[in-house]
C-alpha cells in the first residue's frame, strides 16, 4: 500500500496542476466573453471609471479606445492576451495603467491576510465546539451549538458586520470602524467573516465526530479499555478529519462573497472589490487576471485539501486516482 501511495500522489498532483491551468484559462475565457457579450461602450465605461462620473470628455473616450486598441476584432484581442499570458505577462489595467500582476498581488495580499485570519479564527472556535458537541450528541452543548449555527447561517454577512460595528465601534469605542493599516483594523472584518464561516463548520465537524464515534474501530478501541476522549484522540480525529478538510476547501466560494460585503463595509482593499470594480469598468485585463487568480487559487486549495486527506487516510488514494 505504501508504494501505491508513493506512485499515485505525484501522478494525481500532476493531473491536478494541469487541470488547474485549464480551469483558470477557461474561467478567463468565459469572463472575456461575458464582458464583451453585454452591450455597452467599453471605452466609455473605462473612461468613466478612470475620470469620474462628472468629468469624462468625448476626447478622453476616444483616446482610451485608441490607446487600448479596443476597435480591433475580438478574436485578435483575445489572441494577443493569450499570447502574452504564455510569456507570463498578463497585461496592464485599462483604468489604473499599472501592470495587472502588480495590482492583483497588492489586492490579494490584503485578501489573503484577512482570509487566513478569518479562517483560523473560525476554526479556533469551531473545532473545540464541534468536537465537544460531537462527543456528546444531543447534549446541552450540541443543542446550543446547533441553535447558534442555525441562527448565524440565517444572518447575511452585512447584518453581522453592522451589528459588530454598532457594538464595538459606535457603542464601546474599542475598535476603529474602517481601514487596513493597523492590526486592529483587521479585527472586525475578520470576526465578521469568521462568524459566517463558523456556523456551517461547527455542524460539519460535529457530524464527522458523531459518525466516527459510531464506527466499529472506535467501539473496538473502547473495548480495549481506552476512555471516550482518548479513543477519539487516538483513532477518531484522523478519520473525522477527511470530511472536515473537504468542507473547509469548499468554503472558498463563501469567503469570496463575504469578502465583497466586508470590503465595502470596512473599506478594506481586496480582491473582491478589485474584481467587481474591474467588471463594472470593463477593465478586461484585470477581469481576466482575477479569473486566472480565482481559478488557480480554487484549484490550489482543492489540491491542498486532497493532499491533506491523503495524508490523513492513505486508503483514499486507491479510489479513483485522485478524482473527487
Partner 1 sequence: MAAADRRYLWMSGVAAVLIVSVVAAVWHRDPLHQDLMVALAPPSLGFPLGTDHLGRDVFARLFHALPRSIGIATAAMAAAAFFGTSAGLIAAASNRLVDGALMRLTDLALAFPGLLLAMVLAGLMGGGTMPVLLGISLAQWPQFARMTRTIAATVLTEAHIEASRLAGLAEWRILLRQVMPRVLSQTMALATLGVGGAVLTISSLGFLGLGLQPPTPEWGAMITELLPYMDLAKIQIAAPCIALFLTVLACMAAGRRLAEAR
Partner 2 sequence: MPRNIWLAALIAAMFASPLSAFAQDELRVVEPFQLQRLDTQTGGFQLRANGVTETLVQTNPEASVLPALAERWETSADGLHWTFYLRPDVTFHDGTSMTPETVAASFKALLPKGNLIKNAKIKDVTAGEGTVTFTLEQPFAPFLAYLLDPAVPVLAPSSFGPDGEVTAIVSTGPYRIESAELPQGLNLVRHDAYWGEVAKIERVRVDGVPNPETRVNIALAGEGDLVLEIPTTAIARVDRSGEAKIVRAPVPRVVMMLVNVKKPQFADVGIRRALSLAVNREAIAVTVMGNAELAANQYFPPAMKGWHFDDFKPQTFNLTEANRILEELGWVRGADGIREKDGIKFAGMMQTFPQRAYLPVIAEALQAQLKEIGFDLTIQVGESSLIPEAQNNGTLELGLGIRTMIYQVPDPVARLTTDFATDEPSTDATGATGWKSEAMREAVAAYNRTSDPAERLPLQRKMAEILQDELPVIPITFTDEKYAISERLEGFVADPVMQTRPLNHLSFKE
By CB under 8 A, tell whether 182 contacts partner 2.
yes
Nearer to partner 1 (CB atom), residue 8 or residue 155: 155
By CB under 8 A, tell whether 320 contacts partner 1.
no
Nearer to partner 1 (CB atom), residue 87 or residue 171: 171
Q: Are 153 and 199 in contact (CB under 8 A)?
A: yes
In this structure, the number of other CB atoms found within 10 A of the CB of residue 102 comes to 12
C-alpha cell recorded at residue 215: 464506527
Residue with cell 485585463: 285
C-alpha cell recorded at residue 125: 472556535
The distance in angstroms from the start CA to the end CA of the chain is: 20
Q: How far is the CB of 82 from partner 2 (least distance, A)?
A: 26
Distance CA 263, CA 107 (A): 11
C-alpha cell recorded at residue 197: 464561516
**Strand locations in the chain, DSSP E?**
none
- Sole binder of partner 2 in the list 60, 70, 101, 312 (CB under 8 A): 60
Query: Which residues from 259-288 bind partner 1, rule CB under 8 A?
Result: 260-261, 264, 272, 275-276, 279-280
Distance CA 154, CA 101 (A): 37
Nearer to partner 2 (CB atom), residue 12 or residue 186: 186
Query: Which residues from 271-300 bind partner 2, rule CB under 8 A?
Result: 280
Query: Which residues from 99-158 bind partner 1, rule CB under 8 A?
Result: 150-151, 153-158
Query: Which residues from 298-317 bind partner 1, rule CB under 8 A?
Result: 298-299, 302
By CB under 8 A, tell whether 265 contacts partner 2.
yes
Distance CA 39, CA 58 (A): 19
Nearer to partner 1 (CB atom), residue 134 or residue 272: 272
Binding mask 108-137 for partner 2 (x = CB under 8 A): -----x--xx--------------------
Query: Which residues from 71-90 bind partner 2, rule CB under 8 A?
Result: none
Nearer to partner 1 (CB atom), residue 145 or residue 157: 157
Distance CA 280, CA 35 (A): 9
Nearer to partner 1 (CB atom), residue 180 or residue 254: 254
Distance CA 151, CA 195 (A): 11
Distance CA 212, CA 206 (A): 10
By CB under 8 A, tell whether 171 contacts partner 1.
no
C-alpha cell recorded at residue 157: 454577512
By CB under 8 A, tell whether 169 contacts partner 2.
yes
By CB under 8 A, tell whether 248 contacts partner 2.
no
Residue 99's DSSP bridge partners are 92
Helix (H, G, I), strand (E, B) or coil at 225: coil
Nearer to partner 2 (CB atom), residue 49 or residue 157: 49
Q: How many residues can be counted in the chain?
A: 324
Q: How far is the CB of 52 from partner 2 (least distance, A)?
A: 7
- Please report, as ranges, the residues that interact with partner 2 according to CB under 8 A: 40-41, 44-45, 47-61, 95-98, 113, 116-117, 165, 169-170, 173, 176-183, 264-267, 269, 280
Amino acid at each position: 500500500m505504501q508504494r501505491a501511495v508513493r506512485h499515485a500522489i505525484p501522478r494525481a498532483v500532476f493531473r491536478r496542476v494541469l487541470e488547474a491551468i485549464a480551469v483558470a484559462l477557461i474561467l478567463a475565457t468565459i469572463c472575456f466573453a461575458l464582458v464583451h457579450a453585454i452591450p455597452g461602450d467599453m471605452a466609455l465605461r473605462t473612461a468613466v471609471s478612470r475620470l469620474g462620473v462628472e468629468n469624462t470628455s468625448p476626447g478622453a473616450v476616444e483616446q482610451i479606445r485608441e490607446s487600448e486598441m479596443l476597435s480591433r476584432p475580438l478574436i485578435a484581442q483575445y489572441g494577443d492576451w493569450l499570447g502574452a499570458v504564455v510569456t507570463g505577462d498578463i497585461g496592464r489595467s485599462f483604468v489604473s495603467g499599472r501592470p495587472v500582476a502588480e495590482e492583483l498581488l497588492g489586492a490579494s495580499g490584503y485578501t489573503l491576510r484577512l482570509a487566513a485570519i478569518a479562517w483560523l479564527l473560525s476554526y479556533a472556535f469551531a473545532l473545540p465546539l464541534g468536537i465537544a458537541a460531537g462527543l456528546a450528541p444531543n447534549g446541552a452543548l450540541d443543542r446550543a451549538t446547533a441553535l447558534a449555527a442555525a441562527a448565524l447561517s440565517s444572518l447575511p454577512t452585512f447584518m453581522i458586520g453592522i451589528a459588530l460595528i454598532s457594538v464595538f465601534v459606535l457603542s464601546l469605542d474599542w475598535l476603529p470602524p474602517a481601514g487596513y493599516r493597523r492590526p486592529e483594523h483587521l479585527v472586525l472584518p475578520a470576526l465578521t467573516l469568521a462568524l459566517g464561516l463558523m456556523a456551517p463548520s461547527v455542524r460539519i465537524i460535529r457530524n464527522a465526530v458523531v459518525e466516527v464515534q459510531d464506527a466499529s474501530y472506535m467501539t473496538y478501541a473502547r473495548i480495549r479499555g481506552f476512555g471516550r476522549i482518548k479513543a477519539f484522540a487516538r483513532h477518531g480525529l484522523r478519520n473525522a478529519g477527511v470530511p472536515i478538510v473537504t468542507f473547509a476547501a469548499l468554503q472558498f466560494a463563501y469567503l469570496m462573497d463575504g469578502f465583497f460585503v466586508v470590503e465595502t463595509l470596512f473599506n478594506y482593499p481586496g480582491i473582491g472589490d478589485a474584481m467587481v470594480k474591474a467588471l463594472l469598468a470593463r477593465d478586461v485585463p484585470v477581469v481576466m487576471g482575477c479569473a486566472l487568480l480565482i481559478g488557480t487559487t480554487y484549484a490550489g486549495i482543492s489540491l491542498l485539501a486532497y493532499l491533506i486527506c491523503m495524508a490523513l487516510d492513505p486508503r483514499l488514494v486507491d479510489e479513483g486516482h485522485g478524482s473527487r
